[in-house]
Amino acid sequence: MKCRICGRKAAVNMRQHKLALCRDDFLEWVPQQVERFIQKYKMFTREERVLVAVSGGKDSLGLWDILIRLGYRADGVYIGLGIDEGIAYSGKSQELCEKFSSNHGLTLHVVDIRKEYGHPVPVMSELSRRGKGKPCAVCGLVKRHVMNRAAREMGYDVLVTGHNLDDEAAVLFANTLHWEGEYLLRQGPLLPGREGLVRKVKPLCRIYEKEMAAYTLLRDIDYIYEECPFAAGSTTTYYKELLNKLENDHPGSKMTFYVKFLKSRQSGLFVEKEKIQQSLHPCPNCGQLTSTDDLCSFCRMIDKISQ
Ligand code: AMP
Ligand code: FES
Ligand code: ZN
């Protein structure tokens, strides 16, 4: 297989995009894609101060690397959750974030939950009796709160997370399976800021997890391979596996699922019935109702075939 751009031997074959690239061209292509989505969804500008939430994983460290290469003013924040079961997960991921920031001369803020709030997340979870024995619910709550607080207190314009297409498609799948209207209205690449809440964005929302894995590997970025010890057996993991099976048989379906959702919502999938009806106009040719400003689709088709 040859690189589509330069014709040398390809290092990465992306069936989902019908695109194979060599190492060098792939390492340019990923940031170009990310830049395209930052612009498309109007996430932030080069003048703004950006705070990247880094977990030590491939997505968030890879994203920080991309933003710096693209010339954005991006600092990092790491939240020490105190998850030290088995592999000393938190300690190890903190070390990797610190290593990345010092290697690149970047600013990393560290918030230690145990020091700030008296207990690590697993203990908070037990004490608060939330989440059926697993700390994930409390962990999510803590992360959202602390990220927002850190961004606001330190005067950042926008908070960036490393959620990738696989994450977004799995959440969308769960929300659709349960017809969670409220969540479906809000899920997206950008959550605008308002009083008390900083703007939140996901520049990797259209980048596949395996593309990020290849990017961090080829960029030689050291990241934590292990998953959080509490993630095993979660429903999100199960939905990701299901979508991977689908993707394997029909490359690109994960992307279509997510991107078409965003497009359909933008063109009114969730708009109330009255508004849809109001937006219908009589076709200037036949007088029947149409949603376009001009000729209805029938008249356009007749026009076309009679040319
Ligand atoms: P997760 O919820 O673990 O899938 O992570 C999603 C995103 O949240 C990551 O890509 C990071 O941007 C952010 N994140 C997760 N864990 C941490 C952490 N301990 N500190 C800072 N950011 C985090
Ligand atoms: Fe929060 Fe696993 S419980 S990362
Ligand atoms: Zn090439």
Domain assignment of residue 161, given as a range: 31-306
Tens of pLDDT, residue by residue, the chain (307 residues) = 999 999 999 999 999 999 999 999 999 999 999 999 999 999 999 999 999 999 999 999 999 999 999 999 999 999 999 998 767 888 999 999 999 999 999 999 999 999 999 999 999 999 988 877 789 999 999 999 999 999 999 999 999 999 999 999 999 999 999 999 989 999 999 999 998 899 999 999 999 999 999 999 999 999 999 988 888 888 999 999 999 999 999 999 999 999 999 999 999 888 776 666 667 788 899 988 888 888 988 888 888 888 7
Where are the strands (E) in the chain, listed by range?
Answer: 12-14, 19-21, 49-53, 73-80, 108-112, 158-160, 190-191, 199-201, 281-282, 289-290
In this structure, is residue 25 part of a structural domain?
no
In this structure, is residue 22 part of a structural domain?
no
Nearest atom in ligand 2 to the alpha carbon of residue 134 is 3
Question: For the chain, what is the domain count?
Answer: 1
Report the distance separating Cα 66 and Cα 52, nearest Å: 11
Report the distance separating Cα 290 and Cα 279, nearest Å: 9
Report the distance separating Cα 58 and Cα 231, nearest Å: 16
pTM for this predicted structure: 0.90
In this structure, is residue 201 part of a structural domain?
yes
In this structure, is residue 209 part of a structural domain?
yes
Report the distance separating Cα 128 and Cα 63, nearest Å: 34
pLDDT of residue 149: 95
Q: Quickly list DSSP for 144-170.
A: HHHHHHHHHHTT-SEEE----HHHHHH
Report the distance separating Cα 23 and Cα 8, nearest Å: 10
In this structure, is residue 265 part of a structural domain?
yes
Q: At what angle do helices 253-266 and 165-177 cross, to 10 degrees?
A: 60
Q: Which of 43, 54, 64, 146 to mutate to test the pocket of ligand 1 (most atoms within 8 A of CB)?
A: 54
Report the distance separating Cα 47 and Cα 52, nearest Å: 15
Please choose, from the candidates 78, 79, 85, the residue with its C-alpha nearest in 3D space to the C-alpha of residue 134: 85
Report the distance separating Cα 219 and Cα 207, nearest Å: 16
pLDDT of residue 276: 60
Residue 56 CB coordination number (10 Å): 23
Q: Which residues line ligand 2 (CB under 6 A)?
A: 81, 135-136, 139, 228, 230-231
CB of 163 closer than 6 A to ligand 1?
A: yes
In this structure, is residue 171 part of a structural domain?
yes
Report the distance separating Cα 64 and Cα 257, nearest Å: 26
Phi and psi torsions of 111, nearest 5°: -110, 115
- Gap from CA of 230 to ligand 2 centroid (Å): 6
Ligand lying nearest the CA atom of residue 136: 2
pLDDT of residue 273: 63
Q: Which of 59, 90, 113, 121 to mutate to test the pocket of ligand 2 (most atoms within 8 A of CB)?
A: 121
Helices then strands, each counted (H, E), the chain = 13, 10
Report the distance separating Cα 80 and Cα 148, nearest Å: 15
- Gap from CA of 260 to ligand 2 centroid (Å): 30
Question: Which residue lies with its CA nearest to atom 3 of ligand 2?
Answer: 136
User: Which residues, in sequence order, are bridge partners of residue 160?
Assistant: 52, 201
Given phi > 0 = left and psi -120 to 50 = alpha, else beta, which region is 107?
beta
Question: Which residue lies with its CA nearest to atom 2 of ligand 2?
Answer: 228
pLDDT of residue 289: 84
In this structure, is residue 10 part of a structural domain?
no
pLDDT of residue 297: 85
CATH code for the domain in which residue 152 is found: 3.40.50.620
Question: 289, 281 in Cβ contact below 8 A?
Answer: yes
- Gap from CA of 28 to ligand 2 centroid (Å): 32
pLDDT of residue 200: 98
Q: What is the chain's length?
A: 307
CA torsion 107→110→111→113, rounded to 10°? 170
Q: Are strands 19-21 and 108-112 parallel, antiparallel or unpaired?
A: unpaired
In this structure, is residue 9 part of a structural domain?
no
Nearest atom in ligand 2 to the alpha carbon of residue 229 is 2
Question: 162, 74 in Cβ contact below 8 A?
Answer: no
Which amino acid would we find at residue 123?
V
